[in-house]
Amino acid sequence: MEKTNHGFDRREFLKGTSAIAGASAVGTLAPLGLARAQGAKLRVGLMLPYTGTYTPLGVAITNGFKLAVEERGGKLGGREIEYFVVDDESNPGKAPENTNKLIQRDKVDVLIGTVHSGVAMGMAKIARESGVLWLNTNAGADDVTGPLCAPNIFRTSFSNWQTTYPLGKVLKAKGYNNAVFITWKYAAGEEMLRGFREGFEKEGGKLTKELYLPFPQVEFQALLTEIASIKPDAVVSFFAGVGAGKFLKDYAASGLKGKIPLYGNGFLTDGVLEAIGDAAEGVETTLHYGDNLNVPKDKAFRLAYAKAWKLQPDVYAVQGYDAGQLLAAGLDAVKGDISNKAGVIKAMESAKIDSPRGAWTLSKAHNPVQDIYLRKVVGNQNVVQSVAWKALADPARGCKA
Ligand code: BEZ
């Protein structure tokens, strides 16, 4: 019996998923299947935030994905693309309904998205049940490539753990023994905090305080006052999108900048620097991308992205772009026949992605194994200082791969 990376019986898995597809398309499956085999458009569902604090992230992912498609003549695996778009509003409560809009109503062949970990948890359940191929382009929820890992679920971004675990070593090497972590209270913030604590404690550091506010609130003042009274060696944070810009400005305005060093994973400073003047100057972060990587692929990508969208790319654009590249690898292998799901999955599992972030491969749980960089804000750029962790793989705790 052929096994996937996950130890699932591949034939059983595919049989199960086609049964579900059949149930939702009674009477139309055979002609539809034939039409698709003959080169109908590939139905791609984009489920991303286009309103709220994560809007710039959703837009950058969309732009990156579409750029990868355009570089292939508007086709993947030789098939033209038809897009179906849902604004998920970064609202976990609407995740099942929104995912089902794309899967059941629009009958997408592949699901692309999302940003918010809570929304991704809702998508994961439905992706597992339906068997529809899902490329997660940002949301770091550890469980998605942990206990919820599945043959049809791939991630082109990171796990939440991956982005903060290396920070512990970075801070300890700089001589900091204690730190306070401040973030939004939801899966991403909590898992990133845990990743940092694990890495920091391993080095002998101590996380002395966890400070939370509800997502997507930006009333930071009371918590900044608390930090001032605690006087930790360093502050570590996760915020992203519009909220991250506001946090950086408030941290500087509160007088803490220059007194207590601020760190974070790179979502704190990626895609926000142009809007906030010099409020983040000197802030150091860890992430799987930076603005001056000096890799040929990155130079070409940055030029192409700026030309296509009149914008500078960021980490989110790269993750969207790499989703296009990974999907192309899968579809090229089966000449666009996505009904050959086993063939698509096999090709994606073994792909080596020539990414603007540097080449990466997938772990058995389908999460990128990638270098994590230490970056420093200089002007409008996240300038890479060093590789904080070479080829870091998420531990994939709970994944029966
Ligand atoms: C998350 O919810 O997983 C997330 C959102 C924004 C940036 C990074 C992670």
Q: Are 92 and 122 in contact (CB under 8 A)?
A: yes
How many domains is the chain partitioned into structurally? 2
Averaged pLDDT for residues 213-235: 98
Q: Are 376 and 398 in contact (CB under 8 A)?
A: no
Query: Is residue 362 in a domain?
Result: yes
User: Do residues 386 and 319 share a domain?
Assistant: no
H helix intervals, 46-105 = 55-70, 95-100
Cis check for the bond before 216: say yes or no (omega within 30 of 0). yes
Ordered strands of the 79-87 beta sheet: 75-76, 79-87, 42-48, 110-112, 133-136, 153-155
User: Do residues 42 and 151 share a domain?
Assistant: yes
User: Do residues 222 and 331 share a domain?
Assistant: no
Give pLDDT, residue 34: 42
CATH code for the domain in which residue 180 is found: 3.40.50.2300
- Ligand 1 center from residue 67 Cα (angstroms): 22
Whether the per-residue pLDDT at 262 is higher than 90: the answer is yes
Q: List, for residues 62-120, the tens digit of each pLDDT value.
A: 999 999 999 999 999 999 999 999 999 999 999 999 999 999 999 999 999 999 999 99
Whether the per-residue pLDDT at 264 is higher than 90: the answer is yes
Whether the per-residue pLDDT at 2 is higher than 80: the answer is no
Q: What percent of the chain has pLDDT over 70?
A: 91
Q: Is 266 in the pocket of ligand 1 (CB under 6 A)?
A: no
How far is it, in rounded angstroms, from Cα 64 to Cα 394?
Answer: 24
Averaged pLDDT for residues 242-260: 98
User: Do residues 249 and 319 share a domain?
Assistant: no
User: Do residues 261 and 196 share a domain?
Assistant: yes
User: Do residues 386 and 239 share a domain?
Assistant: yes
Q: Point out the ligand 1 atom lying closest to the alpha carbon of residue 139.
A: 3
Question: For residue 1, what pLDDT band results from cuts at 50, 70 and 90?
Answer: very low
For residue 325, which of 349, 367, 353 has the smallest C-alpha distance? Answer: 353
Question: For residue 193, what pLDDT band results from cuts at 50, 70 and 90?
Answer: very high
Domain limits for position 98: 10-158+294-366
User: Do residues 303 and 382 share a domain?
Assistant: no
Q: Which of 157, 267, 270 for a ligand 1 pocket mutation test, highest count of atoms within 8 Å of Cβ? A: 267
Nearest alpha carbon, ligand 1 atom 5: 116
User: Do residues 37 and 136 share a domain?
Assistant: yes
Whether the per-residue pLDDT at 226 is higher than 60: the answer is yes
Give pLDDT, residue 47: 99
Q: Is 155 in the pocket of ligand 1 (CB under 6 A)?
A: no
User: Do residues 317 and 330 share a domain?
Assistant: yes
Question: For residue 401, what pLDDT band results from cuts at 50, 70 and 90?
Answer: confident
Classify burial at 107, counting beta carbons within 10 Å of its beta carbon; exposed 0-12, middle 13-18, buried 19 or more: middle
User: Do residues 231 and 379 share a domain?
Assistant: yes
Q: Which of 47, 91, 160 for a ligand 1 pocket mutation test, highest count of atoms within 8 Å of Cβ? A: 160
H helix intervals, 81-217 = 95-100, 117-130, 160-173, 187-202
Averaged pLDDT for residues 160-174: 98
User: Do residues 234 and 199 share a domain?
Assistant: yes
Whether the per-residue pLDDT at 338 is higher than 80: the answer is yes
Query: Is residue 31 in a domain?
Result: yes
Q: Is 267 in the pocket of ligand 1 (CB under 6 A)?
A: yes
Q: Point out the ligand 1 atom lying closest to the alpha carbon of residue 118.
A: 2
